[in-house]
Amino acid sequence: MASDKVLQINDAEFDNTIGSSQPTLVDFWAPWCGPCKAIGPVVEELADEYEGKVTIAKMNVDDNPVTPGKFGIRAIPTLIIFKDGEVVDQITGAVGKPQLIELINKAL
């Protein structure tokens, strides 16, 4: 079941979403991507655990080609953590929850 705490964003909403001083984790994914499906539930758990501290968002790269191109995303899933509109760090591939927590904690 999808968490209602995960924002589904598009190219038009992207800059407003990451412009906050609150860190934002963006999961760049596609529906046909097996590793993306594997990491999805972990991303949703993090949205619950970090509610109020970190914004968690997902962007479908098939529907929104501009933003992934801007960040040079060549492989998915790619997760990028932003703070004040700037990239803090990123991770590519279906990684475990500890690696994602570490990624988020760099921005807190």
Q: Which residues carry out catalysis?
A: 33, 36
Return the number of other C-beta atoms located less than 10 Å from residue 76's C-beta.
23
* Preceding omega of 77 cis (within 30 degrees of 0): yes
Spatial distance between the Cα atoms of 26 and 39, rounded to a whole number of angstroms: 13
Task: Tell me which DSSP letter residue 85 carries.
Answer: T
Mapped onto helix, strand or coil, the DSSP state of residue 21 is coil
Return the number of other C-beta atoms located less than 10 Å from residue 43's C-beta.
22
Site of tokens 């990028």: 80
